[in-house]
Amino acid sequence: MTPTDRPEQSPSPTAGDSDQTTGSGATGGEPSGEHPTRATEHVHLRIPLEHPEIPSECVWAVPLGQGRFRIANVPFLVHHVGLGDVVVAVEVEPGTLELVEVVEHGHVASFSFELPRSADPREFLERAGAIGIASEGMGRRLFASSAHRYDAAERFERMLEDEAEWFERFAPDGRLLRQFGDALLEP
């Protein structure tokens, strides 16, 4: 995954594969006054993964000074970091920033989920955005989301129970809190 790939609708840069359909800017959420609106305010930030085939996920971040950055999009593969979190990062090689630690969580929950083939993903994500959920998509059916308020996370979980094929809910520290449905993605 590279942060140079852009979703179709998002006005701000997002991380993810090139067939991404929706980014955090297109689906609402709770960006603060510090949330950027211009791509030039962003830097690439690498989040190391403990995965044999995928060593890291790249996200966009906004420099805050003194080695601190605010995450500017919904990470897709990690759940201990979310949209709006403040992190410390260091330059591990020229031009490459890498996450060291999260110093302030801006999100209260994150989700991974799959919508059924019959669902209209744009309509679903618009409804999610209206309650304060920011989402990133890969393809038309697989998504990751961040919630910044507990009431929004609870409402979103109920939406997912009713409409998703499966979902997982994570705490801000990345702990899996709930699994629902069968997490087998159809071809």
Residue 140 has a pLDDT of 87
Q: Domain check: are 115 and 137 in the same one?
A: yes
Q: Residue 150: which domain range? A: 109-181
Q: Domain check: are 86 and 123 in the same one?
A: no
Mean pLDDT taken over the chain? 81
Task: Supply the CATH number for residue 134's domain.
Answer: 3.30.70
Count of domains for the chain: 2
Average pLDDT over residues 49-72: 93
Residue 120 has a pLDDT of 96
Average pLDDT over residues 29-50: 66
Average pLDDT over residues 167-183: 92
Residue 183 has a pLDDT of 59
In a domain, 92, yes or no: yes
Question: Pick from 104, 133, 155: which residue ends a domain?
Answer: 104
Strand pairing class (68-71; 86-93)? antiparallel
Counting Cα atoms < 13 Å in the Cβ hemisphere of 130 gives 7
* Span of 10-24, 76-90, 115-129, 159-173 with lowest mean pLDDT: 10-24
Average pLDDT over residues 168-186: 85
Question: Pick from 79, 104, 129: which residue ends a domain?
Answer: 104
Start-to-end C-alpha separation, the chain = 20
Q: In what order do the strands lie in the sheet with 176-181?
A: 133-138, 142-147, 109-114, 166-170, 176-181
Question: Pick from 104, 131, 151: which residue ends a domain?
Answer: 104
Which residue has tokens 């759940």?
A: 79
In a domain, 186, yes or no: no
Q: Is the pLDDT of residue 63 over 80?
A: yes
Nearest to 14 by CA among 71, 98, 63, 89: 71
Residue 139 has a pLDDT of 84
Q: How confident is the model at residue 15 (pLDDT cuts 50, 70, 90)?
A: very low
Name 37's Cβ contacts closer than 8 Å, sequence gap at least 6.
11, 12
Q: Tens digits of per-residue pLDDT, 116-155? A: 999 999 999 999 999 999 999 988 899 999 999 999 999 9
Select the more confidently predicted residue: 128 or 11. 128
